[in-house]
Amino acid sequence: MTTLSVSQPPTAGCPFRIDATGSDIHGEAAALRAAGPAVRVQLPGNIPAWAVTDPGLIRRLLTHPDISKDAHQHWPAYINGQVPADWAQRIWVDVRNALSAYGPEHQRLRRPLAAAFSSRRVRALAPRIEEITRTLLDELQTAGAEESVDLRDRFAWRLPLLVVNEVLGVDEDLRDEFRDAIGSLFATDLPPEEAEQAPARVYRLINRLIWRKKHKPGDDVTSALLKAQLAGHLSLTELRDSLMLLIGAGHETTVNALTHGIVNLTTHRDQLARVLGGETDWSQAVEEVLRHQPPVATVIMRFAVRDLVDEATGIAFARGEALVINYAAAGRDTRLHGANAHRFDVTRTTARDHLSFGHGPHLCAGAELARIEVRIALAALFTRFPELRLAVEPAGLRPLPSYISNGHQALPVFLGPSAS
């Protein structure tokens, strides 16, 4: 089996500059993929890193014990104060939660999240997800068949937010504020002062949520995490940052998967017909959506704990170097998914081999919940509105201003007549 082993530091190369606006996620991913399994890049803010694009190398790195996500321990540039205090993506490495922890600390911080999103608890949510979906579709049905409707705003954005708010026990009067604050965490084109304000706003809302749960706990994940914090199993910072992770990641990924699923199925009517006709099941269609358009294009950051070399590729990573994982590139790898990997195909036999929810110890704890939400939502939407179509050309859809989050700013559609 191919392993990573000790090596001398690699020589410096010419870095590829990552576009902060995310204007062409897949064009950039293709260029990186063509340059090699891992490529030296410069992230917005002039932060040097490796962008890893090869699925095999990604799997090896994400399961290697000497690849860390803890900047506080393993990123010398961060520890030595060389990373600017106003770096717009700093929140992604400042946080203290399961996303940024290493070794036993990661296991400790992930344990309560894994319990909260166990298969049993997630599957028990399915009837409630179906109920929320029906309510949103009933509201949509009040629009005229040929009236342009922003399906992101009125459906794809609202459904995951309502679900995650129920899981976390967020009161109704806080939901709109959370909705407005979350998106800015993923925007990577913000000037430093705005980027600094984004997490501060989310923290203020989280503090209000914690205060309420202290005085009125419930049968929800926030109350369970608060109980763990009061028992000394989590610090207050870890509690707050764990809630930020759940609210942000639990919402953003599902919104993006839904909008991409809607776009792909409306622009591939033959494939939509296969799914609606039962030739291909919805679960398979969802996996192809996730492969073709990973909801998170690039995940930052990981760090080499010591000098390493990947024996399969010969690529060396020096101790302390930062790595980002480019899931957009991996999802369209032609060696894994064939020469037509750039095409959307619900019959693709390798669709389930994607890495869009990660791999190894940091595999997304909410992956099963996201899959269930997207499957229920897409099936119900297209069953209710089988003639749904885009109100603009696909090229006219504006991408999110982010190299991390892969989604749309808006999704204008014509619903067409309702089947009900």
Q: Which two tokens stand for residue 135?
A: 């309510």
According to the model, what pLDDT value does residue 302 have? 97
| List of domains in the chain | 4-414 (1.10.630.10)
Q: What is the pLDDT of residues 35-70, one digit of tens each?
A: 999 999 999 999 999 999 999 999 999 999 999 999
% of the chain at pLDDT higher than 90: 79
> Which residue type is seen at 82?
Q
According to the model, what pLDDT value does residue 185 have? 84
According to the model, what pLDDT value does residue 408 have? 97
Q: What is the pLDDT of residues 362-372, one digit of tens each?
A: 888 889 999 99
According to the model, what pLDDT value does residue 241 have? 95
According to the model, what pLDDT value does residue 3 have? 47
According to the model, what pLDDT value does residue 14 have? 58
Task: For residues 57 and 42, give the distance between their C-alpha atoms in angstroms, rounded to a whole number.
Answer: 20
In angstroms, how far is CA 312 from the centroid of its own chain? 28
Integer CA distances (angstroms), 41 to 58, 234, 270, 384, 402, in order = 16, 35, 39, 45, 16
According to the model, what pLDDT value does residue 41 have? 97
The answer to pTM > 0.85 is yes
- Sites in the chain below the pLDDT cut of 50: 1-3, 5-13
According to the model, what pLDDT value does residue 248 have? 81
Q: What is the pLDDT of residues 303-360, one digit of tens each?
A: 999 999 999 999 999 999 999 999 999 999 999 999 999 999 999 999 999 999 999 8
